[in-house]
């Protein structure tokens, strides 16, 4: 198959939502349609507990939440689909923000009963800023929830989107009969018996025929006709170009748990979603159809397999063909590297591949060469930006709880920080280590993973810090900066890259510092 055809058949997208909206369940069902698994929950199907395919860290299965972004790939109707399933929990938002740099489109999952929630608003805001095409999937229709039109209004108002429904529910909760697929003009009826198999749609181009009354009952048929008439009057007609320009968002209804409405979503998705898009580097815009390889690391995962201390760097291919054993230039280190066993993913199952194309996500076993944001090319000097470290909101001293395991502790911390799980600061004054995270739940994850993956134990001590700011002096040699360093010595630390960081203990002291030292700029992301 030609290079351009390979690009055309790729679809790389992320699934985002608030926790518990059914994101991981939806991912699972998409895999079911792709024939990648035969039964939902199958990949982790032991007798005690069914976990979701994409949650493969032990702590995720215990908590029932996704902590790391999983990469899953499958083929459906000759399209190669790469899904990045992101954590919904706000304590892991940073991982999700980074993942959004690697996708070409997004599916937003919304719970029918809860409607638009806070975390969804934040993530959609990022997608809007980056002009990422979005499809909305309103989930859990088999439960009692808000009225379909109210939900559509809420999505428009809270998320600032322009929506157009491409499918519409017939009833909801106890009265849920099925879905009318506006996009394909088909009727899909709901049968509750077998939740894991796929129901067939009935062709139904003319909903005014009496046939409809026989199938779903007079009352439901009357309501459906009225609602579809309203949809036609109120919402704009679907226009693929407007969707691709991120100006219009199609909406689908369904129940991922009962496998309902998922096929409609997937069938429409592979037709309208964009193939790999051009990406902006600092130097220029890189087109996915260029034949020279470019790619960047958007995620690092330590210990994919706890028995082997291995790290994987996840690389999104932006252009060109990635070939096994070919030499590529690592821009930051300025050295050529070859990769003998690049992986492709199916949850935690990995396969070694010989070549990958734009849009694909490749996992490269890494001994510590990569950091998040690193760029690989065939020689051209390029830097992909937009993968920042955010200023943490929680800070704690980290102490070694087992003196015999100091080496393991520092190795574990070093590797977990490379993943971007949290940030490590070393105080200038006494060399004590401070962990800063976006959410408090991260501390438990770090403690758990240090113990179970590295055999090290740590304890925490609270530290009163309001914000970490990266320090950027206009002139490092001037007196003002020297005075700043002298006066603020207690609050200065270095991050993992050796950059100077100011740990402000309150909003007031931060403001005072900014007023007193105007030539010392303070930034809330490491990418200034």
Asked whether the domain spanning 394-523 has the same topology as the one spanning 3-169+237-272, the reply is: no
Q: What is the pLDDT of residue 42?
A: 43
User: Measured between alpha carbons, how far is 159 from 405 in angstroms, rounded to an integer?
Assistant: 48
Q: What is the pLDDT of residue 461?
A: 92
Q: What is the pLDDT of residue 349?
A: 63
User: Measured between alpha carbons, how far is 442 from 85 in angstroms, rounded to an integer?
Assistant: 18
Q: Cα(first)–Cα(last) distance of the chain, in Å?
A: 42
How is residue 419 written in tokens?
A: 């993943």
Query: Could you tell me the pTM of the whole model?
Result: 0.74
Q: What is the pLDDT of residue 60?
A: 52
On the CB side of 363, how many CA atoms lie within 13 Å of its CA? 25
- Boundaries of every domain in the chain: 3-169+237-272, 279-377, 394-523
The CATH number that domain 3-169+237-272 falls under is 3.40.50.300
Q: What is the pLDDT of residue 387?
A: 59
Residues 6+ positions from 118 with CB-CB distance below 8 Å: 18, 90
Sign, CA dihedral 201-202-206-209, equals negative
How does DSSP classify residue 328?
E
Q: What is the pLDDT of residue 196?
A: 47
Per-residue pLDDT of the chain (528 residues; tens, 9 = 90+): 688 888 898 998 888 887 777 777 888 788 777 765 555 444 443 322 344 544 545 545 554 444 444 677 888 888 888 888 766 555 555 666 777 888 889 999 998 888 888 778 878 887 887 788 999 998 888 777 788 888 889 889 988 889 999 888 887 777 777 788 888 877 777 655 544 444 555 656 666 677 777 777 778 888 888 888 888 888 899 899 999 988 999 999 888 887 788 888 888 898 999 989 888 888 888 898 888 999 998 887 765 555 545 677 888 899 989 998 899 999 888 889 998 888 887 644 667 888 889 988 888 888 778 888 888 998 888 887 655 566 777 899 999 988 888 898 988 888 778 777 788 999 998 889 999 887 777 788 888 888 888 889 999 999 898 888 889 888 888 888 999 999 999 999 998 888 899 999 898 989 999 899 988 888 877 665
- Domain 394-523 in this protein, CATH class: alpha beta
Three-state DSSP state, 357? coil
Q: What is the pLDDT of residue 51?
A: 45
Angle in degrees, 0-180, between the axes of helices 218-234 and 148-159, rounded to the nearest 10: 30
Q: What is the pLDDT of residue 49?
A: 35
User: Measured between alpha carbons, how far is 501 from 505 in angstroms, rounded to an integer?
Assistant: 13
**CA-closest candidate to residue 298, choices 98, 67, 83, 86:** 98
Residues 6+ positions from 124 with CB-CB distance below 8 Å: 16, 108, 134, 159, 160, 161
The CATH number that domain 279-377 falls under is 3.40.50.300
């Amino acid at each position: 198959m030609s290079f351009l055809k390979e690009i055309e058949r790729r679809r790389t997208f992320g699934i985002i939502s608030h926790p518990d909206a059914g994101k991981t369940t939806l991912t699972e069902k998409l895999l079911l349609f792709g024939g990648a698994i035969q039964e939902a929950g199958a990949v982790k199907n032991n007798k005690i507990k069914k976990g979701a395919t994409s949650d493969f860290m032990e702590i995720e299965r215990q908590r029932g939440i996704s902590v790391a972004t999983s990469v899953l790939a499958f083929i459906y109707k000759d399209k190669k689909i790469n899904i990045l399933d992101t954590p919904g929990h706000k304590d892991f938002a940073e991982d999700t923000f980074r993942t959004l740099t690697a996708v070409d489109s997004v599916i937003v999952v919304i719970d029918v009963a809860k409607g638009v929630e806070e975390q969804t608003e934040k993530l959609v805001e990022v997608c809007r800023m980056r002009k990422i095409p979005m499809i909305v999937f309103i989930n859990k229709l088999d439960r009692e929830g808000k009225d379909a039109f109210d939900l559509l209004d809420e999505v428009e108002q809270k998320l600032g989107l322009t929506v157009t429904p491409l499918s519409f529910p017939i009833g909801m909760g106890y009265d849920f009969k099925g879905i009318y697929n506006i996009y394909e003009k088909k009727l899909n009826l709901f049968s509750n018996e077998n939740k894991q198999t796929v129901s067939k749609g009935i062709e139904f181009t003319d909903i005014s025929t009496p046939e409809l009354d026989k199938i779903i009952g007079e009352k439901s048929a009357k309501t459906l006709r009225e609602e579809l008439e309203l949809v036609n009057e109120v919402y704009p007609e679907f226009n693929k170009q407007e969707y691709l320009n991120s100006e219009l968002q199609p909406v689908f209804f369904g129940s991922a748990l009962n496998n309902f409405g998922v096929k409609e979503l997937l069938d429409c998705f592979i037709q309208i979603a964009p193939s790999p898009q051009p990406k902006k580097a600092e130097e220029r815009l890189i087109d996915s159809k260029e034949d020279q390889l470019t790619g960047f690391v958007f995620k690092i995962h330590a210990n994919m397999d706890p028995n082997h201390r291995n790290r994987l760097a996840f690389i999104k291919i932006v252009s060109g063909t990635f070939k096994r054993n070919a030499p590529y230039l690592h821009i930051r280190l300025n050295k050529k590297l070859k990769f003998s066993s690049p992986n492709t993913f199916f949850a935690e199952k990995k396969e070694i591949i010989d070549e990958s194309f734009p849009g694909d996500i490749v996992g490269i076993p890494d001994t510590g060469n990569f950091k998040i944001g690193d760029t690989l090319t065939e020689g051209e000097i390029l830097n992909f930006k937009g993968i920042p470290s955010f200023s943490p909101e929680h800070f704690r001293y980290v102490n070694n709880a087992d003196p015999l395991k100091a080496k393991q502790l520092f190795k574990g911390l070093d590797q977990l920080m490379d993943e971007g799980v949290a940030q490590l600061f070393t105080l200038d004054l006494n060399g004590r280590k401070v962990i800063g995270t976006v959410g408090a739940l991260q501390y438990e994850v770090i403690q758990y993973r240090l113990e179970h993956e590295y055999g090290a134990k740590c304890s925490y001590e609270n530290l009163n810090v309001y914000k970490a700011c990266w320090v950027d002096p206009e002139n490092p040699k001037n007196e003002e900066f020297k005075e700043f360093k002298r006066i603020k010595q207690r609050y200065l630390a270095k991050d993992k890259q050796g950059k100077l960081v100011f740990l402000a203990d309150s909003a007031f002291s931060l403001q005072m510092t900014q007023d007193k030292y105007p030539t010392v700029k303070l930034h809330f992301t490491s990418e200034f």
